[in-house]
Amino acid sequence: MNVKRVLIVCKGNICRSPTAAVVLETKARAIGLNIVVDSAGVENYHVGDAPDKRSIRHAAKRGYDLSKKRARQINKEDFEKFDLIWAADHENIGDLRTLCPDIYHSKISLFLGNKPLPDPYYGEAEDFEHVLNLVEQRVEILIKSTEWMN
C-alpha cells in the first residue's frame, strides 16, 4: 500500500492542527498504519513557535507529546505533496481554497467530516479538553474505517 500523506490545517498551527496531527499519528502508529501526518496554519502568526502551552499540557495528560511540533504556514508545495488536507473549520477551508490550485481542491475537507473543530485559543481548560475529546473520537472513527486510506 502507498503511504498516505495527511496535512491537518488550522489558523495558526498552535492548538487544533498540531493536536489532531499528533493524535492521528500516535494512534495510527499504534496499529501499524503507514501514514505521514503533518500540520500547518493558514496564517503566519506563530511560525517557528511551539504549540500553545495549554495544548501541550492537556495533550500530555493523555499521553500525546506535542512539545516537538513547531508552527509553520501552509505553502503551495503542500497542495501537491499531501494526499488529504483536513481543515479545522469552514474559514480554514475558504482560505485553503483561495491558496490552492484548482486541480487540488478535491483534497480539501473538514477534519471532523461535517462540523468544525472549535478553536480553544481564547477559551478555558475545558475548551482544550473538548477539542481533545472531539479529535480522539474522530481519529477512532478514521482508524476503524480506513476507507480514506484508499
Spot the catalytic one: 38, 72, 119, 138.
Answer: 119
Our answer to whether residue 78 is catalytic in this structure is no
Q: What residues pair up with 40 in beta bridges, in sequence order?
A: 9
Half-sphere exposure of 56 (CA within 13 A, CB side): 12
With b for 16 or more beta-carbon neighbours within 10 A and e for fewer, the 62-71 pattern comes to: eebebeebeb
Minimal CA–CA distance to 56: which of 140, 110, 138, 132?
Answer: 132
Angle of helix 125-144 relative to helix 16-30, nearest 10 degrees, comes to 40
16 is catalytic: yes
Q: Out of 15, 16, 38, 78, which one is annotated catalytic?
A: 16
Give residue for cell 488529504.
84
Q: Is 52 one of the catalytic residues?
A: no
Which residues have a catalytic role annotated?
10, 16, 119
